[in-house]
Amino acid sequence: MKKVKKTVQGGIVNLTNVKESLLDCEFENLQKFLRGDEDVELYSANKQQAERNYEKIKDGKEYPVSIRKDLIDIRECDSDVGDYFVKIPVAGRYGGVKVPINTHMGIGEGWEICESKLFRKNGKFYLNVTVEIEVEEVEEYEGVLGTDLGLRNPVVSVALPSRKSEFRGREIKQ
């Protein structure tokens, strides 16, 4: 068995005005903190993660809030509001904010939740949850795994882990 990491993408849905303003405030304060404003109200662990993860800051770019795995709480949702409820720590509310998210795939019971990233795109919030799962290593694959459409050899397929390559097609004249 081998441990691998996978990102489960989720969109935060059905936000109340209060929860949206708390997330907005935390997100904006992180951007200000990264650009040198030390006096903003920002959750202490988010400050630590920002200092640890972001060394070079580009102007005009928004950076995600990095949430440590010990601070995020994800629970399956029994209602139609969303797939899961996620508790996100923010400076504006003790205990954080519980928000519903819809994910592109389910989170399995035996999966370990790792660091997550909260980001904003087109005015909406999204959460990328990194999970660590155990999978069996595959020794042989069936079918094509990778295809390279190059100039010299128009079709090259590679079957890993044996690294056996098959060349199909003719050389193209230059």
> What's the pLDDT score for residue 37?
87
* Whether 15 and 87 share a structural domain: yes
> What's the pLDDT score for residue 1?
83
* Whether 53 and 118 share a structural domain: yes
Task: Say whether 49 sits in a helix, a strand or coil.
Answer: helix
* Whether 77 and 104 share a structural domain: yes
> What's the pLDDT score for residue 158?
59
Average pLDDT, the chain: 84
* Whether 57 and 20 share a structural domain: yes
Could you identify the residue written with the tokens 């003790």?
Answer: 94
* Whether 131 and 158 share a structural domain: no
Give the whole-number percent of the chain exceeding pLDDT 70: 80
> Which of 50-54, 104-108, 130-134, 154-158 is predicted with the least confidence, judged by mean pLDDT?
154-158
Q: Provide the Cα torsion 27, 115, 10, 127; round to 10°.
A: 0
* Whether 156 and 118 share a structural domain: no
* Whether 56 and 130 share a structural domain: yes
Residue 123 structure tokens? 């005015």
Sign, CA dihedral 45-125-121-116, equals: positive
Task: Say whether 152 sits in a helix, a strand or coil.
Answer: coil
For residue 116, the one-letter residue type is S
* Whether 69 and 9 share a structural domain: yes
Question: Which domain does 164 fall in, by range?
Answer: 143-174
> What's the pLDDT score for residue 157?
59
Q: Are 88 and 10 in contact (CB under 8 A)?
A: no
Q: Report residue 160's pLDDT band, with 50, 70 and 90 as the boundaries.
A: low
Q: Report residue 58's pLDDT band, with 50, 70 and 90 as the boundaries.
A: confident
* Whether 26 and 102 share a structural domain: yes
pTM for this structure?
0.75
Indicate the number of domains in the chain.
Answer: 2
pLDDT tens digits for 125-153? 999 999 999 888 877 766 555 666 666 55
* Whether 13 and 93 share a structural domain: yes
pLDDT tens digits for 9-54? 999 999 999 999 999 999 999 999 998 888 899 999 989 998 888 8
* Whether 22 and 55 share a structural domain: yes
* Whether 112 and 37 share a structural domain: yes
